[in-house]
């Protein structure tokens, strides 16, 4: 019989991408050292394009010099996956969890992230699916609604998933999302006739779907972002 598992969730609001990256690096080190439990960051970013470690710059369709004109940043990361967009009205979850402690491999981990988004979409009557071969993330028909890009270091995860609630989809016109051409991007707002609750509620629902998919017994909500963000600033 396994011991009960707890997921600690930090509700951070809107966080600059680089700041979130440094926070993840710090938490990964702490999780490796067993100083913290499995942890989840729930947040949004200002308009930001990110590239994975394959450096597929050709999938950015406008010059970098033009990004400031549309109010966006570009950052290079060590996660898997291709180029993607993060911005307001998008639910982003970054799990910092030990795959060894839950007996997951990389593929099972990614499939469980997909399953959590599919389950969440079903709450609003949206029939989502995992991508076909060579298609990452979660789709509604041929329209992408959720992206996944992860990093695993010594069995500890970082980066994670982004689910489109109601972002400005025009930002996606400047990239080949996740390197898959001729595919549309969509959002929960576009795909459901259901009246959406506040984004805070939506974030909590998505977190609950993830916690259930990974069979956590308890979720501990941390609601004061200054505790974890201010600690980072002092270091």
Residues taking part in catalysis: 178
Exposed (0-12), middle (13-18) or buried (19+): which is 223, by Cβ within 10 Å? exposed
Helix, strand, or coil (residue 235): coil
Which DSSP symbol is given to 4? P
Structure token digits, residue 200? 């805070």
Place of tokens 């080949």: 176
Beta-bridged to residue 150, according to DSSP, are 159
Whether 79 contacts 53, CB under 8 Å: yes
Whether 161 contacts 79, CB under 8 Å: no
């Amino acid at each position: 019989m396994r011991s009960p598992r707890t997921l600690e969730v930090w509700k951070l609001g809107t966080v600059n991408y680089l700041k979130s990256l440094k926070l993840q690096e710090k938490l990964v080190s702490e999780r490796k050292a067993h100083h913290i439990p499995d942890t989840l960051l729930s947040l949004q970013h200002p308009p930001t394009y990110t590239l994975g470690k394959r450096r597929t710059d050709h999938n950015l369709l406008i010059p970098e010099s033009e990004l400031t004109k549309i109010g966006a940043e570009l950052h290079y990361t060590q996660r898997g996956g291709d180029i993607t967009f993060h911005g307001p009205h998008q639910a982003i979850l970054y799990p910092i969890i030990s795959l060894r402690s839950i007996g997951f491999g990389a593929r099972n981990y990614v499939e469980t992230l997909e399953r959590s988004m599919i389950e969440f979409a079903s709450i609003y009557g949206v029939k989502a699916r995992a991508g076909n071969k060579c298609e990452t993330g979660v789709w509604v028909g041929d329209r992408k609604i959720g992206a996944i890009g992860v990093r695993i270091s010594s069995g500890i995860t970082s980066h994670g998933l982004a689910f489109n609630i109601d972002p400005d989809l025009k930002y996606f016109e400047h990239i080949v999302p996740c390197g898959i051409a001729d595919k549309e991007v969509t959002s929960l707002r576009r795909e459901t006739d259901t009246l959406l609750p506040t984004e805070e509620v939506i974030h909590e629902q998505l977190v609950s779907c993830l916690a259930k998919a990974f069979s956590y017994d308890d979720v501990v909500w941390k609601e004061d972002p200054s505790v974890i963000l201010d600690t980072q600033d002092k270091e």
